[in-house]
Amino acid sequence: MKPPSPAHRRPGRAFPGGLRPLAFLALLATVATATALEPRDAVAFQVPENPITHDRTIRAAGWLKRHVVSFERPGEARPLHVVAWNDPTLDPDDPKRLAGYLITDTLWSAEALRPIDAAASAELSRTLQSLDWTGNGLQDVLFHPVERMLHRSDDEDPVHGHSLGVFPVAGGRTVDVRVMRQRWDAGYEAGHPTLFAEHAVYQALHDFWKGRTEEARRRIVGVVRKDGPDDPIFWDADSGILVDHADREDWERFRKGVRPSCRNASFKLGVLLYAIRLMGMEAEIGASVDGMRKRLWSAQSNDGGVAHFVEIRRGEEGKPDRSGATGEATSIAILAETIRRAE
């Protein structure tokens, strides 16, 4: 949503409080900006009181803030800020190229930092407003209702999305600012939530915001519990792995002893825990919640960042994958602990 245009003075119209025209217009601009940055979300957050959880979230927030980069864009009066990190799959030949994913990294980070560092959160939100990308009809459903769910990618590169441009940042580096564009597709709306854990949760949240609470709860329960040998999505409590179509084959080989290890996707688990807490389903899901939280935070490194994957070996606790921390995984880990139950 763009800030409303300042009102123009009409002949013979008095300005409130005796303000001079320029002062009044400045006040209007300030109010308009504040209104534009005011969150339109249906969620609230609270920093955890438990000392261990509090420490985890604060350290994760520190990682996010250290990975905020500033860049200038033609036509912008002020520098813009995004959360960016080195994604080796984006441009392997350029170690100084950072990836700044707007929705899953910068938007999620803006929300994650709201109860921890309001100023940093507002700066990220301002950038999203300036770029006119405050959501994409999929990952922003965590925070508010969307008109319809857009499960299908609308990008040639669905993994990395669409580039809005490459900009120089400090330290001789560059940041590739990217956004995941989505479009509606009936087949994807029916199919993706039955195959991929995160899409099942996104659809459950969509149902929840639309008032279809029982359907939403059934979807979440369906993600957690295994319903027969061919169930494509479930939580393997014994191994501490959230299984879905993306890694089902690796998980089966790991369970049979053919593979020495299997990975768990931290961001998928974080999204699930977020929805469970938002919808007040902890008691219904039961002891699995504690196991999920333990697995999620096993992805946190000493620097506070949360790895995108945890590598799990038989008989071991699991450790962060060598691919390292991402803004997506780190922000959703915070959100999973700070989100308050919806009223």
Q: pLDDT tens for residues 233-253?
A: 999 999 999 999 999 999 999
172-187 tens-digit pLDDT: 999 999 999 999 999 9
pLDDT band, very low/low/confident/very high, at 292 (cuts 50, 70, 90): very high
Angle between helix 266-278 and helix 213-224 axes, rounded to 10 deg? 140
- Token readout for 325 is 């921390």
pTM across the whole model: 0.87
| DSSP assignments along 102-136, one per residue | IIIIIIHHHHHHTTT-HHHHHHHHHHHHHHT-S--
Asked if 241 and 230 count as a contact pair (C-beta separation under 8 A), the reply is no
What confidence category does residue 131 fall into, taking pLDDT thresholds of 50, 70 and 90? very high
Q: Which of 180, 190, 177 is nearest to 157 (CA)?
A: 180
Strands ordered across the beta sheet of 173-179: 97-101, 173-179, 162-169
Q: How far is CA 222 from each of CA 116, 263, 285, 288, rounded to the nearest angstrom?
A: 33, 21, 10, 13
CA–CA gap between residue 80 and residue 311 (Å, rounded)? 35
What local confidence, expressed as pLDDT, does residue 21 receive? 44
- Of the candidates 64, 68, 65, the one whose C-alpha atom is nearest the C-alpha of residue 327 is 64
DSSP symbol at 87 = -
pLDDT at residue 160 in the model: 97
Cβ-based neighbour number of residue 193 at 10 Å? 24
Put residue 151 in one of left, alpha, beta given phi > 0 → left and psi -120 to 50 → alpha: alpha
pLDDT of residue 86: 94
pLDDT of residue 151: 98
Which of 307, 321, 197 lies closest to 262 in space, CA to CA?
Answer: 321
82-120 burial, b for 16+ CB within 10 Å, e for fewer? bbbbbbeebbeeeeebbbbbbbbbbbbbbbbbbbbbeeb
- Which residue ranges make up each domain of the chain? 45-338
